[in-house]
Amino acid sequence: MTPLDPQAQFHRFVSDELVSDIGSDVGLSDDEFEALMAPFEPFEQAPRLGLGLSGGADSTALLHLALDWARRRGGTVVPLIIDHGLRSESTLEACAVADKSRALGLDPVVLKWKDDPPGTGVEAAARTARYALLSRACEAHRLLHLLVGHHRDDQIETIAMRQERSSGFQGLAGMSACVERRGYRLLRPLLSVPKARLLATLQEDGHTWFEDPMNRDERFARARMRRDGITAGSPAATFERIALERELEACLPSVVRLDRFGEACLDRSGWRALPRKLADLVVARLARTMGGLDHAPASRRVEAMAGCLRGDNPVKGTLGRCLWRGRDTICVSREMRDLPVLALDGPETRALWDGRFEIAVPDGVWIVKAWSALTDHEELSAACAPGLSPSALQTLPVIGNLEGRVMVPHLEEVGDGGLAGVRAVFAPRQPLTPPRFVSAGESGMSCEWKR
């Protein structure tokens, strides 16, 4: 399907926002859901749709709508249910949601969050863990599409929260309806639909759902937003973001060079020639990608780094867990702090280390840590990677087993670098040029800039 131009996308966004308010006490019809799914076409014959199912009203409504849609095409839905373990009842609730799915003739998959929740930042940690589990499930079950139940009220909350964090116009455009991930698409077909219509859909058809008390827990930001009331941002931000995303795709190859070791080089003079907002977006994207982050740093910090880049002095600073340094060419690489240690145990395990490197190991127990954690890293760095900056080298992952063997598979020169089944590839959580932003109501596809 040919994407609409930015102005058409903008008008479609506004139109959908208005139409979805009509008859908010009336459930969604099959025809309406057909129209909501149409922008994501084409699908394969007899599509299998992964669907994040919590058992709450939003995801339950999406489950029934998507299941009818898929079955009309000879396909099905695979419910993916997270047992987050944040409450003592969570395991029982996940099992109950799975049982309700089986009653519909489906084969649900229950995904367990095994890590202990942090003392602070529970909401963000749970969200990160949820998407990591869903991503692995899509890969394991060969699901090309993952549907989630975010609706218009969620979009408004997201925009309001990003306003509080000073996310800039990019954040004010809200969530995208279609996001390309590695191996699957994340689809949000309900972004233009108010929650009231989803509740009406369930009530009209006699479906029941669970209410998670954490949605009302005022320790969390979204619950406080619902308590205090929220306001929507301007749709004009969506129009501007769509246009800038296209300009970003066009300009990045001429001003940024990436290597397989997770280091980027920014051509300072070429960057300075870009329009100001586009130049700031390049900085934000570099920080997010090279730092292995889910989101770009706050706009005030991005603007501060951009101000340094526009000056004449050599640059040496940090942004987005990255070190930025240089004069004519600015090298951007991961800071040597908070580098994780990851234990992998199982047959042919794959995982994302530090949000930057995709690790694959064969059967057995493996430990992944940073090069800087090796006692002999100075000797190795001198012998094996003369063209790589020491700071970037020390943030590379190394893989070891219980026998004490250490492998650096992305540096073929090092020891057991060619061991079969062991792999480390720079594949950051958020690529530098993700698929073009798509507003609610219309989707478009674009190619990622190949690194």
Which amino acid type is present at position 369?
Answer: K
Sheet with 423-426, edge to edge strand ranges: 349-353, 357-361, 423-426
- Same domain, yes or no: 355 and 417: yes
Q: Of the candidates 31, 44, 25, 444, which has an alpha carbon nearest to the alpha carbon of residue 246?
A: 444
Q: Does 220 fall in a domain?
A: yes
- Same domain, yes or no: 39 and 106: yes
Write down the pLDDT at residue 2: 38
- Same domain, yes or no: 144 and 213: yes
Domain termination site, one of 305, 334, 363: 334
- Same domain, yes or no: 139 and 20: yes
**What is the rounded distance in angstroms from the CA atom of residue 350 to the CA atom of residue 103?**
33
- Same domain, yes or no: 308 and 368: no
Q: Does 285 fall in a domain?
A: yes
Count how many Cα atoms sit within 13 Å of the Cα of residue 444 in the half-sphere of its side chain: 21
Q: Does 322 fall in a domain?
A: yes
Task: Give the ranges where 195-256 is alpha helix by DSSP (H).
Answer: 195-205, 221-228, 236-255
Q: Does 442 fall in a domain?
A: no
- Same domain, yes or no: 109 and 169: yes
- Same domain, yes or no: 131 and 18: yes
Tokens 């800038």 found at = 244
Q: Does 250 fall in a domain?
A: no
- Same domain, yes or no: 161 and 269: no
Would strands 256-258 and 178-180 be described as parallel, antiparallel, or unpaired?
unpaired
**CATH number for the domain that contains residue 151:** 3.40.50.620
- Same domain, yes or no: 83 and 171: yes
- Same domain, yes or no: 172 and 29: yes
Per-residue DSSP letter, 182: S
Q: Does 441 fall in a domain?
A: no
Q: Of the candidates 268, 204, 293, 191, which has an alpha carbon nearest to the alpha carbon of residue 235?
A: 191
**Domain around 228:** 6-236
Q: Does 446 fall in a domain?
A: no
Count how many Cα atoms sit within 13 Å of the Cα of residue 324 in the half-sphere of its side chain: 27
Averaged pLDDT, groups of 10, the chain, 451 residues long: 39 39 76 96 95 95 98 97 83 94 97 70 77 92 96 82 58 77 92 93 92 58 52 53 79 92 94 95 95 89 96 95 96 94 82 91 88 66 64 88 73 53 86 56 30 27
121 sits in the region (left: phi over 0; alpha: psi -120 to 50; else beta) called: left
Q: Of the candidates 272, 343, 355, 353, which has an alpha carbon nearest to the alpha carbon of residue 307?
A: 272
- Same domain, yes or no: 36 and 162: yes
Q: Does 54 fall in a domain?
A: yes
At residue 57's C-alpha, the angle toward residues 52 and 61, to 5°, is: 70
Q: For the beta carbon of residue 87, count every other beta carbon within 10 angstroms.
A: 13
Write down the pLDDT at residue 12: 37
pTM equals 0.57
Name 422's Cβ contacts closer than 8 Å, sequence gap at least 6.
360, 361, 362, 399, 407, 409, 416
- Cis? peptide before 235, omega within 30° of 0: no
Write down the pLDDT at residue 279: 95
Q: How many domains, in total, are found in the chain? A: 3
Check: CB of residue 349 under 8 Å from CB of residue 360: yes
- Same domain, yes or no: 100 and 175: yes
**What is the rounded distance in angstroms from the CA atom of residue 104 to the CA atom of residue 53?**
14
Write down the pLDDT at residue 9: 40
Locate 118 and state its tokens. 């942090």
